């Protein structure tokens, strides 16, 4: 088996294990990363919502916010894990596609 | 470490976007010259690995979460400029599709994770590894230390960027306009988390992958000078 193939299998394994990154924080009741709170959370912590932050936070609506489908927030960890895996596959497919394309266009053989 | 929209002022975002332009330009020029066509699939897998490893949130029980990035790992394998491109692609996809990191903060997030992290980590690694064969114990340890230094430095700088916001930008009533936490809160919070936990996660991930690839006879990046 070539090294590339082995690494692809490794990547696939990580994709299917990725919901652990969702489940562990939930088990330990951990909050989001420092400085990555949603506006509601920040308002509770700081006692007010900074004006500029409130405006700018509305700028972009991601199609799969927090690696989940919109409206799935209350559906529980099983659904969220499935969405997480779908997000991982989507992200990886796009990233690999973009870099291979950039490589095709820009990298001439330097061997 | 993915700064969301609104935590940095538009001015700060602008500065980092402007700073990143020459870095991205240099990266594409250098990678175009030095990366071999057969290395492109490895770069793609490296970027994908970085993306998925960032989904493995590690909790501090009752506290916050964080994750490894893999930026120094890619720098050691394929060079810091190639790592810059790989991490940038991952960060852009995360911001656009998943709202992880703001679109206005792409410049700052790339500066921290796609520039500072791979470069400080890679040069730390090189300094420690210098004169020793890549497969040696010393170089594998050096890779781990480089990864630790790289991610901690990036986190420290993210803390600085967030922490200067309330000093620079506030409303007439004294309320902050963007990130409300000052540098004396933001920097210790970010630095402590990474020095104590997430830096070690990065160190372990990097060491394991470097060790594995070294056994697989992967051809590690060598700069022209060495």
- The CATH number covering residue B126 comes to 1.10.1760.20
Which pLDDT score, from 0 to 100, does residue A84 have?
Answer: 97
**Which are the contacts of A15, defined by CB distance < 8 A and separation ≥ 6?**
A85, A88, A89, A92, B52
Q: How many domains does chain B have?
A: 1
Per DSSP, helices labelled H in B99-198 are 106-110, 117-129, 137-163, 165-168, 183-193
| DSSP helix/strand/coil, B59 | strand
Tell me whether residue B2 is in a domain.
no
Which pLDDT score, from 0 to 100, does residue A111 have?
Answer: 57
Residues of A in contact with B36 (CB under 8 A): 107, 109-111
The low-confidence residues of chain A, meaning pLDDT below 70, are: 110-111
Which pLDDT score, from 0 to 100, does residue B226 have?
Answer: 43
**Interface A:B, Cβ pairs < 8 A:** 226
Query: Where do the domains of chain A lie?
Result: 18-106
Q: CB-based contact (8 Å) between A40 and chain B? A: no
Alpha-carbon gap, residue B183 to B202, rounded angstroms: 25
Which pLDDT score, from 0 to 100, does residue A72 have?
Answer: 84
Residues of B in contact with A52 (CB under 8 A): 6, 9, 169, 177-178
Interface test with B, best of A5, A7, A43 (most B CBs within 10 A): A7
Q: What is the mean pLDDT of chain A?
A: 93
pLDDT in tens, A71-82: 887 888 999 999
Tell me whether residue B1 is in a domain.
no
- DSSP annotation string for B93-109: HHHHHH--S-STTHHHH
Closest CA to A34 of B106, B198, B149, B56: B198
Host domain of residue B136: 10-215
Q: CB-based contact (8 Å) between A111 and chain B? A: yes
pLDDT in tens, B62-73: 889 999 999 999
Check CB contact under 8 Å for A3 and B96. no
pLDDT in tens, B97-147: 999 999 999 999 999 999 999 999 999 999 999 989 888 999 999 999 999
pLDDT in tens, B164-175: 999 999 999 999
| DSSP collapsed to 3 states, A29-65 | CCCCCCCCCCHHHHHHHHCCCCHHHHHHCCCCCCCCH
Q: Is 0.90 surpassed by the pTM of this model?
A: yes
Alpha-carbon gap, residue B166 to B178, rounded angstroms: 7
Predicted-complex ipTM score? 0.95
Residues of B in contact with A94 (CB under 8 A): 93, 97
Out of B58, B96, B189, closest to residue A34 by CB: B189
Give the Å distances, CA to CA, from A43 to A28, B101, B164, B188. Answer: 23, 19, 19, 21
Tell me whether residue B220 is in a domain.
no
Tell me whether residue B224 is in a domain.
no
**Which are the contacts of B204, defined by CB distance < 8 A and separation ≥ 6?**
B144
Tell me whether residue B29 is in a domain.
yes
Tell me whether residue B221 is in a domain.
no
Alpha carbon of A79: minimum distance to chain B alpha carbons (Å): 16
Residues of A in contact with B55 (CB under 8 A): 18, 21, 67, 84, 87-88
């Amino acid at each position: 088996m070539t090294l590339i193939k082995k690494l692809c299998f490794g990547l696939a394994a990580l994709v299917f294990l990725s919901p652990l990154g969702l489940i562990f924080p939930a088990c330990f009741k951990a909050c989001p990363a420092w400085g990555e709170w949603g506006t509601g959370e920040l308002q509770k912590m700081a006692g007010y919502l900074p004006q500029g932050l409130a405006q700018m936070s509305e700028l972009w609506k991601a199609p799969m916010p927090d690696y989940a489908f919109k409206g799935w927030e209350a559906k529980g960890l099983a659904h969220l894990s499935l969405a997480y895996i779908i997000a991982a596959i989507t992200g990886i497919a796009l990233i690999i596609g973009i870099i291979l394309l950039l490589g095709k266009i820009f990298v001439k053989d330097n061997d | 470490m993915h700064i969301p929209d609104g935590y940095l002022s538009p001015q700060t975002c602008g500065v980092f976007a402007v700073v990143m332009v020459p870095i991205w330009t240099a990266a594409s020029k250098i990678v175009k010259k030095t990366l071999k066509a057969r290395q492109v699939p490895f770069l793609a897998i490296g970027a994908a690995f970085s993306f998925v490893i960032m989904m493995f949130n590690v909790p501090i029980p009752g506290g916050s979460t964080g994750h490894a990035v893999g930026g120094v790992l890619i720098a050691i394998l394929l060079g810091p400029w190639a790592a810059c491109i790989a991490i940038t692609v991952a960060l852009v996809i995360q911001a656009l599709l998943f709202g992880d990191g703001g679109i206005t903060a792409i410049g700052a997030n790339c500066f921290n994770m796609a520039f500072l992290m791979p470069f400080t980590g890679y040069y730390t690694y090189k300094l420690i590894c210098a004169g020793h064969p890549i497969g040696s114990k010393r170089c594998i340890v050096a890779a781990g230390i480089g990864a630790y230094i790289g991610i901690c430095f990036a986190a420290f700088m993210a803390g600085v960027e967030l922490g200067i916001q309330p000093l620079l930008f506030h409303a007439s009533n004294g309320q902050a306009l963007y990130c409300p936490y000052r540098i004396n809160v933001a920097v210790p919070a970010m630095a402590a988390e990474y020095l104590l936990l997430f830096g070690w996660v990065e160190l372990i991930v990097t060491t394991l992958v470097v060790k594995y690839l070294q056994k697989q006879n992967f051809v590690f990046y060598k700069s022209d000078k060495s």
